[in-house]
Amino acid sequence: EAQVTQNPRYLITVTGKKLTVTCSQNMNHEYMSWYRQDPGLGLRQIYYSMNVEVTDKGDVPEGYKVSRKEKRNFPLILESPSPNQTSLYFCASSTTGGFSHEQYFGPGTRLTVT
Amino acid sequence: AQSVTQLGSHVSVSEGALVLLRCNYSSSVPPYLFWYVQYPNQGLQLLLKYTTGATLVKGINGFEAEFKKSETSFHLTKPSAHMSDAAEYFCAVSLITGGGNKLTFGTGTQLKVEL
């Protein structure tokens, strides 16, 4: 089944404790992206990757890092999480970086930072 | 800069009634427009998209949307609501920028369907 998977689905952590949220897609997609969803704000892009060689910041990159060492995986790293990073996170992928292309979303990771 | 406005954060309809969810965009160039649906505890799923060509776009589950350039709108409709349509709906716009396939989302509309 074609899908985007994220792990963990739920995570509660404390301020400053490094964490990684994994994202993997099995559709051989070039483009991958991370979003966060907050009530009343919709989804906002954190980072994106056009392919394994190109990764860049989105609208809200502060406090996050990403890595794209292989095409299928795009982990999101929070080096020192803070309470304002409590949110619902989505990974998405697309065939290419083409603007008419549908993005496929993972099921989401709900992160709570205390 | 592109932006998307969804009017009404919550919409309630009766089962069998018309569903109308409003979306307006701002863009200096022709955009690509999308509607995504999010069911509880799930990720987003594409309902439909407008890229070029016919301005009336049909999607899954009986939904459709019409691109009206003069009104900068892309409203989502369904003739007859079903209980299973209860979800959150997001309008999004994609434009050519240095950021690849970036979607700018509206703030979402929660659709409630009542008996």
Q: Are A29 and A51 in contact (CB under 8 A)?
A: no
Report yes or no: B25 at the A interface, CB cutoff 8 Å: no
The answer to whether the beta carbons of residues B56 and B110 sit under 8 Å apart is no
Averaged pLDDT of chain B: 90
- Within 8 A of B9 by CB-CB distance, chain A residues are 40
- A19-56 pLDDT, tens digit per residue, is 999 999 999 999 999 999 998 888 999 999 988 988 98
Tens-place pLDDT, residues B32-57: 899 999 998 888 999 999 988 888 99
Specify the amino acid at residue A97: G
* CA dihedral sign of residues A54, A35, B26, B24: positive
Segment B2-27 mean pLDDT: 93
Mean pLDDT of B55-63: 95
Asked whether residue B61 carries a pLDDT value surpassing 70, the answer given is yes
Strand partners, B104: B93
pLDDT at B17 over 70: yes
Q: Number of CB pairs < 8 Å for A and B?
A: 69
Q: What's the average model confidence in pLDDT over A73-82?
A: 97
Q: Which pLDDT band, with edges at 50, 70 and 90, does B104 fall under? A: confident
With beta carbons less than 8 A apart as the criterion, state whether A86 and A112 touch.
yes
Confidence of residue B96 (pLDDT cuts 50, 70, 90): low
Pairing, β B10-14 against β B109-114: parallel
Chain B interface disruption, residue of A103, A109, A110, most B CBs within 10 A = A103
Going through chain A in order, the beta strands assigned E by DSSP cover 4-7, 10-13, 19-25, 31-38, 42-51, 54-57, 65-66, 76-78, 87-94, 104-105, 109-113
Smallest Cα distance from B91 to chain A, Å: 10
Backbone φ and ψ of B16, nearest 5°? 95, -10
What's residue A98's pLDDT?
66
Q: Whole-angstrom Cα distance, residue A53 to residue A99?
A: 19
**Nearby residues of B70 by Cβ (< 8 Å), 6 or more positions away:** none
Residue B14 has pLDDT above 90, yes or no: yes
Q: Is the pLDDT of residue A96 over 80?
A: no
